Amino acid sequence: MRRRGRTRSATRPTGRSPRGALPEGRGGDGLGGEDAGHLRAARPRRGPGRGGGDTRGRRPREEGAAPFSPLGQLPFWRGQDTRLASTRIKIFDLFPRSGLPPAFRTWGEFEGHVEALVAAGSIPDYTWCWWDVRPHPRFGTVEVRALDAQTNPANTGALAALIQCLVAHSAEEAFVPEDPLLTNENKWRATRYGLDATFHDFATGRAAGAREEARDLVRRLRPISGELGCEEELEGVLGIVDGGSGAERQRAVFAKRGSLKAVAEHTLGVVPG
């Protein structure tokens, strides 16, 4: 998603920290920790009728959040099983301006929101808005920040392809906002149950499992992946669905060997991919 024209100063990263804010070595972009995955996707330039118009007032639909939270990699915290698929997501909720992003109808609304926070002394620039999904004017991209870092590079490539296709897909559809409280309910289910979660479509009343939703999403995005040249990477999402998330694998190792050291050794062993 690219922003044309001049960008106001509030939406340019300054690196200055407001009084009372947490110090960050890389400005607001640095928050998230080494266990967080940040993936950026530029809205591809496509022909007339294929998403080539102005999409500044849009964002990826809420359905796009569903495939990410179930892929948790952090079920343990301080030596204990939290019973969550992703503990990091709940820890990150402690920070301000985190979680689901507001629904901005125009780019000007986004700029106005950031400028109001800057004027109040809350933040130095837009990089201190740590929503799950946000625009990044300096790079001209949509940044998805909801992922736990994956231990397998191939999985990271699969999720990058999924995000790229979702961004392109969102440019083709009219955006119908959903009540964020309802969207958050599905996010919680994903955080808690991972790939075993059941998502509810509050508009239609339909419920479906996370694995079913992921497979259906890949099916619908295949034509776009062909245009973007990431067909193989997108198919990797199905490998994650069939092989299980990192949280599932870590718990399986712990159940078998009864040791978090064994879990760490297993995780390090799969890093090379």
Task: Give the pLDDT confidence of 40-85 residue by residue, as tens digits.
Answer: 555 554 443 333 333 333 333 444 444 455 566 788 898 899 999 9
* Residue 3 located in a structural domain: no
Domain of residue 60: give its range: 9-270
Whether 103 is in a domain gets the answer yes
Residue 245 within a domain: yes
Q: Could you tell me the sign of the dihedral formed by the alpha carbons of 81, 147, 203, 165, in that order? A: negative
Asked if residue 4 belongs to a domain, the reply is no
CB 81 within 8 A of CB 251: yes
CATH number of the domain where residue 42 is located? 3.30.590.20
Asked if residue 226 belongs to a domain, the reply is yes
User: Which tops the pLDDT comparison, 154 or 3?
Assistant: 154
Q: Is 24 helix (H, G, I), strand (E, B) or coil?
A: coil
Structure tokens at 217: 């999403």
Owner of token pair 């998330």:
245
Question: pTM to 2 decimals?
Answer: 0.73
Rounded-to-integer distance, Cα 104 and Cα 110, Å:
6
CA distance 155 to 188: 22
Q: In this predicted model, what pLDDT tens digit does every residue of 189-218 receive, in sequence order?
A: 999 999 999 999 888 889 999 999 999 999
131 pLDDT band, cuts 50/70/90, is very high
Does pLDDT of 238 surpass 90? yes
- CA 257, distance to chain mean position in Å, is 32
Do residues 10 and 111 make contact, with C-beta atoms less than 8 angstroms apart?
yes
Q: Which residue has the higher pLDDT, 105 or 117?
A: 117
Q: Is the pLDDT of residue 223 over 90?
A: yes
Asked if residue 1 belongs to a domain, the reply is no
**Confidence label for 13 from pLDDT (cuts 50, 70 and 90):** low
In a domain, 264, yes or no: yes
Please tell me the total count of domains within the chain. Answer: 1
* Rounded Cα gap, residues 40 and 139, in angstroms: 9
Q: Say if 77 falls within a structural domain.
A: yes
Count of C-beta atoms within a 10 Å radius of residue 231: 16
Give the pLDDT score at 10: 60
* Residues written for the chain: 273
Burial of 99 (0-12, 13-18, 19+ CB in 10 A): middle
